[in-house]
Amino acid sequence: MLELSGNYREMGRQYGALLREDLQAFYREAVVGFFLGEKGMSLEELKKTAFAVFGPYPLRYRDILAGMAETSGLDLEQHVLLNAVEWYPRIAHLSAGEGRCSGIAAWGPYSTDGRLVFGRNNDDDPLYRKFSKYLTTAIFKPEDGSLPTAVINYAGAVYAPTGMNSRGLFAEMNAGPWMGFALNRTSIFTEIFTWLQDFASLPEMEKAILSTLPNLASIINAADSESAASFELSLQDSRRVDFG
């Protein structure tokens, strides 16, 4: 677990220094050993995907990766490649993708004390089991007025498949590539990170979710202390589906 503060470049520098050995080992095992070695993908294939993900990044998240590159022992291109490590099997169809993420929420008369409880099952692709030791909780506390946000993700990945901010607003993403991809759009994982930094309640964040078209079909489950909801985002439309 990392607690990072300052501007975005400074947080990246802290991240890179604190996880220097893990970041280098993860790069060797995942990018070099697995995707380039075992799976026989070319460096150009990986770079095409990685830079498509990185291209529409907001400057603040680019600065995190740039900061990492100053202290981790990996250069910026290597960090961009590591940042996209979850995307390669999806784009290249390396496996059947048996993993199916899910979420469950209970509150009011459905929980023991009435308070909201949320459960999240992060069923990633089975090929990532070998990399589970690199899962990291990073708490970003920027000085720009954004809400402090905790992100659970693989080391070096700057986006939020699962996260929670200091106001208790939680979001997690369950997705699948069954509709294909729109790589000219900002990653939905990146959007979730932004929403958690910008909004203090579910009604506030809902407006942003419903005005977003993702880069891959997604189910986003979100909750605050009052209620929870599920949002279905296709490549063409976004809608809210209440928990029942």
Please tell me what DSSP assigns to residue 114. Answer: S
Over residues 27-31, the mean pLDDT reads 97
Over residues 85-105, the mean pLDDT reads 71
Q: pLDDT at residue 212 above 70? A: yes
pLDDT range class, residue 87, cuts 50, 70, 90? confident
Percent of the chain scored above 70 by pLDDT?
Answer: 93
CB 87 within 8 A of CB 216: no
Q: Name the average pLDDT for the chain.
A: 91
pLDDT range class, residue 94, cuts 50, 70, 90? low
Instruction: Measure the CA–CA gap between 154 and 174, rounded to whole angstroms.
Output: 16
pTM metric for this prediction? 0.91
pLDDT range class, residue 95, cuts 50, 70, 90? low
CB 39 within 8 A of CB 94: yes
Backbone angles phi, psi at 121, to 5 degrees: -110, 110
pLDDT for 96: 47
pLDDT for 225: 92
Over residues 11-28, the mean pLDDT reads 98
Residues in a beta bridge with 150: 139, 164
pLDDT range class, residue 86, cuts 50, 70, 90? confident
CB 132 within 8 A of CB 159: no
Per-residue pLDDT of 99-146, as tens digits, reads: 568 888 999 999 999 999 999 887 777 778 889 999 999 999 999 999
Percent of the chain scored above 90 by pLDDT?
Answer: 72
- Considering only the top CATH level, what class is 2-242? alpha beta
Q: pLDDT at residue 22 above 90? A: yes
Please tell me what DSSP assigns to residue 148. Answer: P
Nearest to 22 by CA among 133, 103, 158, 108: 133
Q: pLDDT at residue 77 above 70? A: yes
- Going from N- to C-terminal start, the domains of the chain cover 2-242
Q: Could you give the angle at the alpha carbon of 212 between the alpha carbons of 206 and 217, nearest 5°? A: 105
Q: pLDDT at residue 177 above 70? A: no
pLDDT for 179: 77
CB 15 within 8 A of CB 8: no
42, containing H or E segment: none
Over residues 176-186, the mean pLDDT reads 75
Nearest to 93 by CA among 54, 120, 58, 127: 127
* b/e burial code for range 46-78 (CB count within 10 A of at least 16 → b): beebbebbbeebeebbbbbbbbbbebbebeeeb
